[in-house]
Amino acid sequence: MAEENKKRGYPVIARNTWFTLREKFKQKVPGEVTPAYLAATLNMSPGSASANVLPSLRTFGLINDAGKPSDLAFAWRDDEKYASVCGQLIKSTYPTGLHDAFPDAANAPMNRVTAWFAHDTKTGDSAAVKYARVYLMLLEGDIGKANEKPAKEKATARAAVTPKSSSKAAKATAAQVPSANPGPAEHSHQQHPPGGSAFSPKLHIDVQIHISPESNAEQIDKIFESMAKHLKDFRT
């Protein structure tokens, strides 16, 4: 394993970038991978390609310092060899301790792998997540997951979509609320016990109406009409 890589960070390359470039290599391996080539292939600026993509390709050994694709790059584009190449990239790029702790995708939770990178590189969560995504992508070694979203994004999407089944009838719940100032009519009916202060217990009801977002205007009108009918006796 490459223990010397431990102090300088790890490759960062988006899943879409990884597989888009691989498909391009399957069509034809370029004689030289330049910023201009990556910019045209990945729809990004040459500056971004030079800063964000080329370093990772060099670190993995897919291209040499001059940008010429290696034999590993030719094997990388081969579907039958893809999983094996991913295994080689892990061994040549990441410390032994990481692979010992997380040897396969089934036993590599995203949060724990991210924590490992955060501790090892002494970086923040944002960088650690990017490192972890690349490692997990290689650990999967599955070309069938080319269009799959990264682990953390999928979890977020599932958490965001949690529909609740709501009835179209509104639910009303009663709760006690602080007393409002009594009106003149209420004062006139209060009884004062002799030799003591006035005490007049009152019942106050606060009706909360929860209306389903699916309710239309007619249903809402019916709800309030029904509430007015059933609560009119409380006005006296």
Tell me the per-residue pLDDT of 121-140, one tens digit each, with 9 for 90 and over: 999 999 999 999 999 999 99
Structural domain contains residue 174: no
The model's pTM: 0.61
pLDDT in tens, 189-202: 455 555 555 555 66
Residue 172's pLDDT band (boundaries 50, 70, 90)? very low
Structural domain contains residue 167: no
Structural domain contains residue 158: no
Q: What's the number of domains the chain is made of? A: 1
Q: Please indicate whether residue 111 or residue 191 has the higher confidence score (pLDDT).
A: 111
Q: Is 104 exposed, middle or buried (0-12, 13-18, 19+ CB in 10 A)?
A: exposed
- C-beta separation of 133 from 15 below 8 A: yes
Mean pLDDT of 25-54: 96
Phi, psi angle pair for 36, to nearest 5°? -65, -40
State which residues form the domain around 105: 15-140
pLDDT of 165 strictly over 60 = no
Structural domain contains residue 8: no
Q: What angle do CA 154, 156, 43 make, to 5 degrees?
A: 60
- C-beta separation of 54 from 67 below 8 A: yes
Structural domain contains residue 153: no
Cα separation, 191 vs 188, in Å, equals 9
Phi, psi angle pair for 174, to nearest 5°? -100, 140
Structural domain contains residue 222: no
> By C-alpha distance, which of 235, 236, 231, 173 is closest to 207?
173
Structural domain contains residue 43: yes
Structural domain contains residue 34: yes
